Amino acid sequence: MKNERIRINEEIRAKELRVVGAEGANLGVITLEEALKAAQDAGLDLIEISPKAKPPVAKVMDYGKFQYEQKKKDSAMRAKSKPTETKSVQVKMGTGEHDKMLKAKRAAEWLSEGHRVKVELFLKGRYKYMDQALLKGKLEEFLKVTPHAFKIADPVRKVPKGFATVIEREVTKKKHEDKQVIHKETKDDQEG
């Protein structure tokens, strides 16, 4: 509806409309002239809210109020949809355990914020010619130490600089279920 202009009153082209009255009552399928008369009698506008329906749906209401409600809905939609970025973590064959843990922790923070994380195993020199199963295993080792629930969005694959995968946050009900189990166990302990 953003690109389409909303038609009101005489701009509506359909001969018949399904009309919703000012109080929300369904007036049924009526002609355009009857709908315009109903809107005029109520002192309001006739607004085509669903032009692609068969027959198109129109509503009798104040056009200013309609615009206000549309802006409110649009801003609520924008507020709910956060743009996600793909952050990147690079691990090398010689990366120490401490550095690996720090990078895994940073990746977990990004996952908790809702971002996707691209994990790259950067290979240079002779490491490029090592056994691919060993190299993939090194990348999977890093994924195992990541302290946040995730799912693999893009499987491990060879890229020009080594191997890479993309992970994203996994939304699970498991935490909630775990809490219920713990609560039940403590309740049973108290009763026994």
Domains in the chain, number: 2
107, 75: one domain: no
Token readout for 114 is 């809702």
Question: Does the reported pTM lie above 0.75?
Answer: no
189 inside domain: no
Range of 116-120, 127-131, 135-139, 168-172 with top mean pLDDT = 116-120
Where among 53, 79, 105 does a domain terminate? 79
Question: Measured between alpha carbons, how far is residue 48 from residues 7, 12, 14, 37 in Å?
Answer: 6, 7, 10, 15
68, 90: one domain: no
DSSP-derived secondary structure letter, 77 = H
Where among 41, 60, 79 does a domain terminate? 79
9-56, pLDDT tens digit by residue? 888 888 889 998 888 888 888 998 988 888 888 889 889 888 888 888
Instruction: Give the domain range for residue 34.
Output: 9-79
49, 93: one domain: no
Query: Mean pLDDT over residues 131-141, rounded?
Result: 87
67, 126: one domain: no
179 inside domain: no
68 inside domain: yes
101, 39: one domain: no
- pLDDT > 70 fraction of the chain, expressed in percent and rounded: 86
Residue among 69, 109, 88 at smallest CA distance from 166 = 88
58, 103: one domain: no
Is residue 69 within 8 Å of 108, Cβ to Cβ? no
**CB within 8 Å of 157: residues ≥ 6 apart:** 163, 164, 165
146-168, pLDDT tens digit by residue? 888 888 888 889 998 899 999 98
